[in-house]
Amino acid sequence: MQPAAPLLPPADWRDFLALTKPRVMTLVVFTGLCGMLAAPVSINPVIGFTAILCIALGAGAAGALNQWYEADIDSQMRRTSGRPLPAGRMERQSALHFGVGLAVFSVLLMELAVNMAAAAILTISILFYVLVYTVWLKRRTPQNIVIGGAAGAFPPLIGWAAATGDIALLPLLLFALVFLWTPPHFWALALFVKTDYANAGVPMLPVVRGEAVTRTQIGLYTIPMALAAVLPWPLGLTGAIYGVTALVTTAVFALMAAQVATRRQVPGDTMKPEKRLFGYSILYLFIVFGALVADRWFA
Amino acid sequence: MTPGDRDLIRRRQRGRAIVMGLLLGALVVLVFAITIAKIRTGMA
């Protein structure tokens, strides 16, 4: 007979909060909010707040289920070893129940309080992140974050659908922007935490195909990303406030990406350009989406 | 189980109960506000 596993004390509520990846949620909520505010119709503030709450809860649920499934990988990476499950502060089953419960609640609330279109896209985004990215792709292919990036690109669509009940060209371009932004963003990170991913057996591009290929891919993905960012202006979907902001900030992004794409790591390299691109890429998305709202309101 | 363990468990249970209570209270307020908003906008 095997000795019984030691019982853990009940997890602290802060651990449940950590399970939802609050920092990642910030960007998701912001892009969802901007998608909603950029829509050509006004939404009741209470319904709008509920829609954003549902996006946050859905993202939190997906994050919790991701951590439930990836506890073994997380325990092998320095960046994630302090999370509630790998650190042994929570039972796996609690994380699963929490994630599933939160996912179902967020979708139901979205359907009942907002509309069916937003609830349907929210469902797709949660399932995409959990099943397609986490379970299917992440451990199998270096293209994991390319296809999985779609999961993080849904919030502007959800926000727009919450306001209008429909999908249009502008939110589709915003989806494309976040989708194409994801590879340069994550591969810049993967370049300087390569050892962590290699130790955990995650087939990130720098681990599987090497540094040179990753740098080239960062440069290549930046080109369609830049197009998706700037295109709403010439297409007449936005005004000059968005257009000029997108043009300038995307040019800075492209310059940083070009620097990362053309350099090679040397012994004792601090990877400053890669860290700078990673940090700027987050700021970039905030600025571009913020400009979209400013354009809608002040133009 | 040591008295320290018991204290930790009680503390966590109390913390979770307080947070759950606050969340449920917030949910009641939210559902009320949604109902009023839907009635006002004629979406109900």
Same domain, A293 and A232: yes
Tell me, yes or no, if B13 comes closer than 8 A to chain A by beta carbon. Answer: yes
* Predicted local confidence at residue A3, as pLDDT: 61
Q: How far apart are CA A263 and CA A164, in angstroms?
A: 45
Confidence of residue B44 (pLDDT cuts 50, 70, 90): very low
* Predicted local confidence at residue A4, as pLDDT: 60
Q: Which residues in A lie closer than 8 A to residue B9 (C-beta atoms)?
A: 9-10
A297: number of Cβ within 10 Å: 10
Q: How far apart are CA B29 and CA A29, in angstroms?
A: 21
Q: How far apart are CA A77 and CA A261, in angstroms?
A: 26
Q: How far apart are CA A161 and CA A47, in angstroms?
A: 12
Entry pTM = 0.90
Same domain, A152 and A187: no
* Predicted local confidence at residue A299, as pLDDT: 75
- DSSP assignments along A94-135, one per residue: HHHHHHHHHHHHHHHHHHHHT-HHHHHHHHHHHHIIIIIIII
* Predicted local confidence at residue B2, as pLDDT: 85
Q: Which residues in B lie closer than 8 A to residue A11 (C-beta atoms)?
A: 12
Same domain, A103 and A219: no
User: Domain map of chain B by residue range?
Assistant: 1-44
Q: How far apart are CA A10 and CA A4, in angstroms?
A: 17
Same domain, A132 and A39: yes
Same domain, A128 and A203: no
The answer as to whether A215 is a domain residue is yes
The answer as to whether A19 is a domain residue is yes
The answer as to whether A198 is a domain residue is yes
Q: How far apart are CA A35 and CA A249, in angstroms?
A: 19
Same domain, A68 and A137: yes
Which burial class, exposed, middle or buried, applies to A87 when counting CB atoms under 10 A from its CB (0-12, 13-18, 19+)?
Answer: middle
Q: Which domain holds residue A70?
A: 13-166
CB contact under 8 A, A46 and B37: yes
pLDDT for A119-147, tens place per residue? 999 999 999 999 999 999 989 998 888 88
Same domain, A18 and A158: yes
Q: Is the dihedral of CA A10, A11, A16, A21 positive or negative?
A: negative
A274: number of Cβ within 10 Å: 25
Same domain, A144 and A22: yes
Tell me, yes or no, if A44 comes closer than 8 A to chain B by beta carbon. Answer: yes
Give me the residues of chain A with pLDDT under 50, please: none
ipTM of the complex: 0.89
Mutation target vs A (from B12, B24, B27, B31; most A CBs, 10 A cutoff) = B12
Tell me, yes or no, if B6 comes closer than 8 A to chain A by beta carbon. Answer: no
Q: How far apart are CA A240 and CA A238, in angstroms?
A: 7
Task: Please give the biggest Cα pair distance in chain B.
Answer: 59
Q: Find all residues with CB under 8 Å of A51, minimum gap 6, and list them.
A: A32, A36, A43, A110, A113, A114, A118, A158, A159, A162, A163
Q: Find all residues with CB under 8 Å of A288, minimum gap 6, and list them.
A: A177, A229, A242, A245, A246, A249, A250
Domain count, chain A: 2
